[in-house]
Structure 1
Amino acid sequence: GPLWLGLAGLVVRVTGSVVPSLVGMRLLAIVGLALLAWALLRLTEVPGRALWLGVANPLVLVHLLSGAHNDALMIGLMAAGLAVAGRGGRWLAIGAALVTGGALIKVPAVAALAFLPLLAASNLPGRLRASAVVGLSAVATAVIVTLVSGLGWGWLGSLDAGRARLALFSPLTGLGVLVGQVDAVLAGGLVVAAVVGLGLLLAADRLGPLRACGLLLLSVSLLLPVVQPWYVLWGVVLLGACSSARGAAGLGAACLVLTLLVQPSGRSVVRPPLYGVPMALAAVAGCLVARRHRSLGVEVVPTPAPRSLP
Structure 2
Amino acid sequence: MIKPINLTLMHSQKLKEQVLEFIKYHDVKPITKESYRRILLRYVEYVEHLTEPPIRDDVKQYRDTLIKDHSANTVQKYIVVVRLFYAWLYAEGKGDNIAINIKGPRIENTFKRESLSEKQARQLLEYAKKESSKGIIEYRNFTMIALMISTGFRTIEIERADVSDIHFIGDSHVLYVMGKGRDEKDSYNKLSPLVYKLIETYLMMRSDEHKPLFINHGSTYKEIRLKTRSISKIVKKYLLGINIDSKKFTAHSLRHTAATLAMEKGADLYSAQHMLRHKNTNTTKIYLHKINRRKEKYEEIIGDDLLKGLT
Query: What TM-score, normalized by structure 2, do the two folds share?
Result: 0.24
Q: Relative contact order: is structure 1 or structure 2 higher (C-alpha 8 Å, sep ≥ 6)?
A: 1
If you compute each CA radius of gyration, which structure gives the higher value, 1 or 2?
2
Relative to its length, the structure with more helix (as a share) is 1
